[in-house]
Chains A and B, each alone.
Chain A
Amino acid sequence: MSELANVPVAGPENRVLSSTIANQLLSLRKCYSIADPTQPVIDLLDEQPALYSLLSEAVMPIEKAFGEGHILEMRAQFSDDDGLLKVTIQLPADFGPDPEIGLESFDRDWWLDNCHRSGGALVFDYEIQDAV
């Protein structure tokens, strides 16, 4: 068994995670910034097991479409009756090309062939940072 089994994850909830989810979070944190609170993200990863592999595979297509080095933020969103995991590619205010073209390229080259695996629970979008 992994030494990560039953690792408490920092955060207000401090719930004990399964080794699988704990390992997934460790791995995802290498590429994604996970917004607080973490627990809703964990719940969505648990609800839709395919999300982990999709998120792992998405990094290269994102870099191909938008370039390397951008922060990829992951956060959970909830309405009254459903929840989503949203990945936001954080782009600087002076990002050159039209980001919609990057998004179309990402969709065409990868996401449209893989979105069927997500259970309708995963969104990729970009966000332009406010100019300082």
Chain B
Amino acid sequence: MPFDWREFLLVAHALRNQSGEGFQRTCLGRGYYFVYNLGLIRARSMNFSGQIPGLHRKLWNWCQMHTDPLIRQMGVDGLRMHSLRISADYDGASIPNLAREVKTQLSRAEAFERLTAQVNGQAPPVRLGP
């Protein structure tokens, strides 16, 4: 049975109110990786053939070059979340307003999930709540 990447979103959601920068940065990363895998699965189903290295940027660039505006929106949103994940995992400098960034990242992850459902012609997923 394939791993359900939504578990990453659930983990991020469960950790979102934990104090400690490590928890908060983990939320930014797991929230992004949920979206990345959702986007990658969708793009692979549409013949996206990008490979490592640089697969994250290749994926979102492929989406941004798509003729369907919904797929382009996936590319814009995904790259935005990728950027916050880079800050979380590669930048030792303090992230201003980290709690707010976590809230934004998780909200964007859920919005991305709804967008992907729309692209797939599926019913919108259940929201996780505040």
**Residues on A close to B: CB < 8 A?**
77-82, 84, 86, 100, 107, 111-112, 115-116, 118-121, 123-125, 127-130
Chain B residue at smallest Cβ distance from A118: B64
Q: Are A77 and B72 touching (Cβ within 8 A)?
A: no
Q: A107-B73, A120-B75 are in contact. Are A77 and B54 (CB under 8 A)?
A: no
A91 to B87, CA, bound (A): 19
Q: A82-B54, A84-B86 are in contact. Are A119 and B76 (CB under 8 A)?
A: no
Q: Are A84 and B76 touching (Cβ within 8 A)?
A: no
Q: Are A82 and B83 touching (Cβ within 8 A)?
A: no
Chain A residues whose CB sits within 8 angstroms of the CB of B57 once the complex forms:
82, 84, 120-121
A77 to B84, CA, bound (A): 10
A125 to B60, CA, bound (A): 16
Chain B binding surface, main DSSP class: helix
Q: Are A78 and B96 touching (Cβ within 8 A)?
A: no
Q: How many A-B residue pairs have CB under 8 A?
A: 73
Q: Are B61 and A77 touching (Cβ within 8 A)?
A: no
Q: Are B75 and A115 touching (Cβ within 8 A)?
A: yes
Q: Determine how close the nearest CB of chain B comes to the CB of A64; give it in whole angstroms.
A: 17
CB < 8 Å neighbour of B72 from A78, A115, A128: A115
Chain A binding surface, main DSSP class: mixed
B interface, size bucket: 20 to 34
Q: A100-B104, A125-B80, A130-B97 are in contact. Are A81 and B73 (CB under 8 A)?
A: no
Q: A79-B86, A121-B57 are in contact. Are A116 and B72 (CB under 8 A)?
A: yes
Q: Are B76 and A107 touching (Cβ within 8 A)?
A: yes
Interface string of B37-57 (1 = CB under 8 A from A): 000000000000000111111
Q: Are A77 and B69 touching (Cβ within 8 A)?
A: no
Q: B79 an interface residue at 8 Å Cβ cutoff? A: yes
A121 to B81, CA, bound (A): 13
Known A120-B57, A123-B80; 10 more pairs at CB < 8 Å: A77-B90, A80-B53, A81-B53, A84-B86, A112-B73, A112-B76, A115-B64, A120-B62, A120-B75, A128-B97
Chain B residues whose CB sits within 8 angstroms of the CB of A130 once the complex forms:
96-97
Chain B residues whose CB sits within 8 angstroms of the CB of A77 once the complex forms:
83, 86-87, 90-91
Q: Are B76 and A111 touching (Cβ within 8 A)?
A: yes
Chain B residue at smallest Cβ distance from A123: B83
